[in-house]
Structure 1
Amino acid sequence: MASYVVMVPKEAGAGDAVLVRDGFAFLAFIVPFLWFLWHRMWLEAAAALAAALLLGTLGTVQGWSAASTLMSLCLSLFLGLEARGLRVAMLRRRGWRQWGVVEADNGADAETRYMTELFDEEQPAPVAPLPELPAPPAKTAGRDTGPALGLFSYPGAR
């Protein structure tokens, strides 16, 4: 089962929620620039393009091609691992808030579970009436049988 982070806007209804799957984003690993553009993450797309161009330029320098290839692979791996976390961070910057986390096998099941939990949350649970407590026992004349100094009672002491 996968985890889905549910992000909701401040002023919209429950139907406007965005479910972001937690895990590796394969398309962000292969083509990070296009993945960021698809999800309207403009700053991240610009940063990914600048880093790719910088590493490509570094690869043309004599003796840096192997290092540039390795750094490019590491950058792609990092973006594949962190792309969905960056998407959640982008939504927070835009004023969205995190409603919670839903676990499901796929996106449709996650949306169904979210809606079910949302509507269960809106229905207040019925409140049961409090039980009647018995009346305290009446004090008897004579000795006080209560504890002394709050610890225990002393028999025969008045």
Structure 2
Amino acid sequence: MTVYSVYEPSDAAQDLEARAEALQFVKEGFSWPAFLVPALWLIYCRMWVEFALFIAVFGALQWGLGLDKPGHEVLGWLLAGLFALFAFQANDLRGAALERRGYRLVGLAEGKGRTEAELSFFKSWLAQQAKSGRSGESKPETARGKQSLPPVSRNEGEDVIGLFPQA
């Protein structure tokens, strides 16, 4: 199963169809496009701050390590490792970039693929919209229709790392 975080712009239209079109589904986990072509992936996702940082960090690494033959080999291995690390964090960075642009987390969707996840999310989301009788603010839902916790910004709850609270 693949899990997607679903984000809605804070200035969403009142029309239910327009709101549904504006939703952004962000896959949780490893991103192959971000691993294979990270700069193009950042441009495609319109993550300009992250793109500038990416260019600065990788440009500095290439300048610092790529001047001689042993430096090229070390640079190659270092870049491969950093690309893998970036690919594991890329979708989290995309979610943070969406929140920075005014989107809010409205729920989770899960399915064998994106299409199945979208269908299951919209089935429960549309039922919730009809039940509330308005197309405005809604409570977050999971794809199975169970009520989940309200959205939490990325800065809240930082006293817990994974399953372990900080000492």
Shorter-chain TM-score range: 0.7 to 0.9
Indicate the RMSD between aligned Cα atoms, in angstroms.
1.7
Distance 1:118 1:54 in 2: 46
In structure 1, the residue corresponding to 2:108 is in which secondary structure?
strand
Task: Report the equivalent of 2:150.
Answer: none
Task: Report the equivalent of 2:7.
Answer: 7
1:48-63 aligned within 5 A? 48-62=54-68, 63=70
Conserved 8 A contact 1:58-1:65? no
Shift of 1:22: 1.0
The TM-score with structure 1 as length reference comes to 0.72
Task: Report the equivalent of 1:76.
Answer: 83
Which of 27, 34, 41 pairs up with 2:40? 34
Distance 2:57 2:73 in 1: 16
Which of 87, 90, 96 pairs up with 2:94? 87
Shift of 1:57: 1.3
Shift of 1:122: 2.7
Matching of residue 47 in structure 1 with residue 53 in structure 2: yes
Distance 1:42 1:72 in 2: 21
Change (3 A) 1:77 1:121: same
Unaligned runs of 5+ in 2: 13-18, 133-167
Matching of residue 114 in structure 1 with residue 131 in structure 2: no
In structure 2, the residue corresponding to 1:117 is in which secondary structure?
helix
Distance 1:118 1:11 in 2: 18
Deviating runs (4+, > 4 A) in structure 1?
none
Shift of 1:38: 0.5
Shift of 1:100: 1.2
For structure 1, which segment, 103-112 or 92-101, has the greater mean C-alpha deviation from structure 2 after superposition?
A: 103-112
Task: Report the equivalent of 1:22.
Answer: 28
Distance 2:33 2:64 in 1: 24
Q: Please tell me whether Structure 1 or Structure 2 has the larger radius of gyration of its CA atoms.
A: 1
Distance 1:107 1:20 in 2: 10
Shift of 1:59: 2.6
Shift of 1:58: 2.1
1:6 maps to amino acid: V
Task: Report the equivalent of 1:131.
Answer: none
The TM-score with structure 2 as length reference comes to 0.68
Conserved 8 A contact 1:3-1:102? yes
